A and B are shown apart, each in its own frame.
Chain A
Amino acid sequence: MKNSLKVAKWELKQNMTNQSFLISVFMTPALLIGFSLLPPIISGDWDSSGVLSLLNAGLLPGIVSGSIFLSVLLTGMLIFQSASKEKKEKVAEMILSSMDPHELMHGKIIGYFALGVTQVFIWLFCALPLVVWKFGLGSLKYLFVPKTFVLVFIALLGYFLFAALLVGLGATVEDVTTSSNFQGMIMMLPFSFSLFILPVLENPNGVVATIGSYLPFTASGTLIFRLSLLEVWPWSEIIVSIGLLLLTSWVCMKMAGKIFKVGILMYGKNASPREIWKWMWA
């Protein structure tokens, strides 16, 4: 555990001193806001009161957990890069002579967790004064409700699932540009929830929306999106999908550990799906 924390600290330091990370922290929300405001501006019915009226304080828990989930997706990609870079730059062996591969993997997961949290705090730090200024201090009482905590919990579960998936995958890839379709597909998994955005918008309680919140890889995204739209929450469904999510995260963590252990020390080529399959059951 001590070693994991050292790795975590190091990963955090590497990113915090990296300009591209700091740029992305500020660029991401700017881009999102830009894109969401662009359509009304282009179509000409730009009316600041109209757009802002869509925003109401009741959406705050959804927005906060949504931004956490966004941060999860971004740091997930970074953790993939980190594992693959460590393999490419061949430092893994030197590190593994002072700790075992599980400690290294857990260290990475914790480190990027801290990074994601930092990112969200930076966002909140910038956004909250604006919210208070626009809606008054009273709006904050919409934020600190049990719903927020459930949504944040779901987003965090999503992080551990995708972090495990991507750190394991990163250890199998040395050169991202030559990675196969298979690796590309896995990398898309965290974004698979977007398939359910439209059905959820149409009917948050529909069959498709329900399926989306049961499938572990789409569950956290779909649930956050869906629950922010719903007034009354289907608690039994939520508990079942959280359970499924927990189980899948645990299995993924175990599998990732096995893949990471072998993959990180393999030099010269990307692992094939077949090899990865063999390592998983070794």
Chain B
Amino acid sequence: MAVVLEVKGLGKRFKQETIVDNLSFQVKKGEIMAILGPNGAGKSTTIRSILGIFYPDEGEVLYQGKRVQKVPPERIGYLPEERGLYKNMKVMDVLLYFADLRNYPIHNAKKRAKVLLKRFGLAGKEKAKMEELSKGMGQKVQFIASIIHEPEILILDEPFSGLDPVSQELFHREIKALATQGTAILLSSHQMNLVETLGDRLLLIHKGKEVVTGNIHDVKARFSNYKCTIRGENSCAQLKKIPMVERVEQDDNTSILYLAKDINVASWLKILPNQLDIQALRLDRNSLHDIFVSIASDRKELSYEK
């Protein structure tokens, strides 16, 4: 697939603080690329650098293989994290204004706006003022405003924040449909579960640095070691002696044992020592969510560092 957008060695500092550090990634045509990370990881800064709202201190942004200061506005759609639109203006006027800013012909924009409004369940709201809409409807209008000019690249900053489950489902479906039609999509999120089912590739960042990147299925396979949660009075040292245990986390009388790769679950269960106090035991795989949480809470001994 053709690479539409490429970021090479991006770096951005505010005062002495490094916000983004040597970040590189690509977004291909028809692909959904997810940037994940806790709040303050540098997701929005990365996106703003691509859009040319900020100029990065280091690195470059390439559009269709050519170095650019900002991606041509006609080609890019953007849904910012901070939501809001002109409150006292009509829905159609707002949509046409954003289409005009992207140099999209007005009569096409009118047609497309009608189609899109209908698809998002807002048919007949063309003449309604923005302030008359509910918050969820407002977000839908803003989403439409970001895709009305048929962009080649769509950048979505936390597209699901503040949406109810039904709208979340709708956004999910529409984003997927756009990718199928060939739009390159870059989305940032801190909601792992949504990204897990939506994205093709991911880039996990923390404190501006790349932590994990790759195909979502590969990443999941790579990190989905087993973990065993045991409730009962056990000492940490005792648990650490059990073979194949890489790391132990204890909280009150609950211990989580992170197990080595490629274990055979059945045989591992058989070697558990008899004197172990087990009130409850649960065995499951690490999810992306766990990786994410462990990064976000800044724990030192992380399995992915090995």
Query: Is A269 at the interface (CB under 8 A from chain B)?
Result: no
Query: Is A53 at the interface (CB under 8 A from chain B)?
Result: no
B73 and A97: CB pair below 8 A? yes
Contact of A98 among B83, B84, B85, B101 (CB under 8 A): B101
Q: Which A75-105 residues have a C-beta within 8 angstroms of B?
A: 88-91, 93-100
Question: Separation in Å of the B41 CB from the closest CB of chain A?
Answer: 18
A90 and B53: CB pair below 8 A? no
Q: Which B42-91 residues have a C-beta within 8 angstroms of A?
A: 48, 51-53, 73, 76, 78-80, 82-89
CA distance A90 to B51 in the complex (A): 16
B76 and A97: CB pair below 8 A? yes
Q: Which A1-35 residues have a C-beta within 8 angstroms of B?
A: 3, 6, 10, 13-14, 17-18
Q: Output the residue of A88, A90, A95, A98 with the most chain B CB within 10 A.
A: A98
B93 and A93: CB pair below 8 A? no
Query: Is A64 at the interface (CB under 8 A from chain B)?
Result: no
Contact of A6 among B48, B78, B100 (CB under 8 A): B100
Query: Is B98 at the interface (CB under 8 A from chain A)?
Result: yes
A89 and B53: CB pair below 8 A? no
Question: Separation in Å of the B92 CB from the closest CB of chain A?
Answer: 12
Question: Separation in Å of the B87 CB from the closest CB of chain A?
Answer: 6
A98 and B73: CB pair below 8 A? yes
Specify the chain A residue showing the minimal Cβ separation from B44: A93
- Residues of chain B with a CB closer than 8 A to A91's CB: 84-86
Specify the chain A residue showing the minimal Cβ separation from B146: A94
Contact of A3 among B51, B85, B87, B101 (CB under 8 A): B101
CA distance A265 to B76 in the complex (A): 20
- Residues of chain B with a CB closer than 8 A to A14's CB: 86, 88-89
Contact of A95 among B83, B88, B89, B101 (CB under 8 A): B101
Query: Is B145 at the interface (CB under 8 A from chain A)?
Result: yes
Query: Is A267 at the interface (CB under 8 A from chain B)?
Result: yes
B86 and A89: CB pair below 8 A? yes
How many residues of chain B have a CB within 8 Å of chain A?
26
A10 and B78: CB pair below 8 A? no
A14-B89, A91-B84, A91-B85 given; A99·B101 CB < 8 A: yes
- Residues of chain A with a CB closer than 8 A to B89's CB: 14, 17
A97 and B85: CB pair below 8 A? no
A94 and B78: CB pair below 8 A? yes
CA distance A94 to B306 in the complex (A): 41
Specify the chain B residue showing the minimal Cβ separation from A101: B53
Specify the chain A residue showing the minimal Cβ separation from B149: A98
- Residues of chain B with a CB closer than 8 A to A267's CB: 82
Specify the chain B residue showing the minimal Cβ separation from A14: B89
CA distance A97 to B86 in the complex (A): 17
Q: Which B94-118 residues have a C-beta within 8 angstroms of A?
A: 97-98, 100-102
CA distance A98 to B100 in the complex (A): 10
- Residues of chain B with a CB closer than 8 A to A18's CB: 88
A97-B52, A97-B78, A267-B82 given; A89·B101 CB < 8 A: no
- Residues of chain B with a CB closer than 8 A to A95's CB: 101
A98 and B102: CB pair below 8 A? yes
- Residues of chain A with a CB closer than 8 A to B52's CB: 97, 100
Q: Output the residue of A88, A91, A96, A100 with the most chain B CB within 10 A.
A: A91
B73 and A96: CB pair below 8 A? no
CA distance A3 to B102 in the complex (A): 9
Question: Separation in Å of the B10 CB from the closest CB of chain A?
Answer: 17
Question: Separation in Å of the B104 CB from the closest CB of chain A?
Answer: 11
CA distance A89 to B85 in the complex (A): 6
A10 and B88: CB pair below 8 A? no
Mask of B204-223 contacts with A, CB within 8 angstroms, 1/0: 00000000000000000000
Chain B residues near A (Cβ < 8 Å): 48, 51-53, 73, 76, 78-80, 82-89, 93, 97-98, 100-102, 142, 145-146
Chain A residues near B (Cβ < 8 Å): 3, 6, 10, 13-14, 17-18, 88-91, 93-100, 265, 267
8 contacts between A and B (CB under 8 A): A6-B97, A13-B93, A91-B85, A93-B48, A94-B145, A97-B53, A97-B78, A99-B101
List 14 other contacts, CB 8 Å, given A14-B86, A265-B53: A3-B101, A6-B100, A10-B97, A14-B88, A88-B84, A90-B82, A91-B86, A93-B80, A94-B146, A97-B51, A97-B53, A97-B76, A98-B101, A267-B82
The 7 closest A-B pairs by CB, nearest first: A98-B73, A90-B84, A90-B82, A89-B84, A93-B80, A97-B51, A97-B78
